[in-house]
Amino acid sequence: MRCVTYKRISTQHQDIENQTDAINKQIELLDWECVAEYSEVISGTKSRDTRPELRRLLADARKRKFDRVIVYELSRLGRSIVDVINTIHELAEVGVNIFVVKNGIDTSTSQGKIFANFINLFSELEHDFLISRQKESIKRIRKTGGKWGRGNLITDEIRDRIVVLRDEGFSYRGISTECDVAVSSIQYVLKTHSMTSEAV
């Protein structure tokens, strides 16, 4: 069995040897052949797309250079459940499984597959909750005309006024002056209003 190791620490002051010792003992116990090592010092808050060694590992996996990836714990693979499950899926697509030393998780086994599906379910729930909270926040801010991100959200009252002014023949720039709203926002409001009207 050709395996590779992936180790990550957040700072230079952390000891990567703890991960290395545990991983090496596991490789020896399973009698696997370690064909490459990938390790990096990078914050756990960084997404997997900004981790050069992890990206290199995934690229080598697509070239079928190994069969297993062994890590000390799941948190080494990503900053969130979504990040971790995406990495597991990307590896699975090319026939590479993951072994997690700390938890004894092996995605090549039936139990490991159940676990992967389980955390996939939680990642989907996490995403759904995030979208739901975001929609509720936008809805609440629209009612008060507060800020979202870099700009102000347009209230329903202003959206209606934009439509009325346009129907009365006002230009985009004229509506912008009347409502104190950017021209690009006015174009978006009228476009979405038109699409909604056509749907009805």
pLDDT tens digits along 26-63: 999 999 999 999 998 887 666 677 889 999 999 999 99
Where do the domains of the chain lie?
2-123, 129-199
Give the type of residue at 163.
V
Region of residue 105 (phi > 0: left; psi between -120 and 50: alpha; otherwise: beta) = beta
What's the angle, vertex CA 105, arms to CA 104 and CA 108, rounded to 5? Answer: 130
How far CA 188 is from CA of 142, 154, 182, in Å, comes to 15, 11, 10
- In CATH, the number for domain 2-123 is 3.40.50.1390
Supply the Cα-derived Rg of the chain in whole angstroms.
25
Confidence of residue 105 (pLDDT cuts 50, 70, 90): confident
**Whole-prediction pTM value?**
0.57
pLDDT of 149 over the 50 cut: no
Region of residue 101 (phi > 0: left; psi between -120 and 50: alpha; otherwise: beta) = alpha
pLDDT (average), residues 4-18: 79
SS3 97: strand
pLDDT at site 67: 95
Of the candidates 95, 78, 75, which has an alpha carbon nearest to the alpha carbon of residue 87? 78
pLDDT (average), residues 144-167: 69
Contact of 97 with 112, CB cutoff 8 Å: yes
pLDDT at site 2: 93
Tell me the percentage of the chain whose pLDDT exceeds 90.
26
pLDDT of 78 over the 70 cut: yes
User: Is pLDDT larger for residue 127 or for residue 76?
Assistant: 76
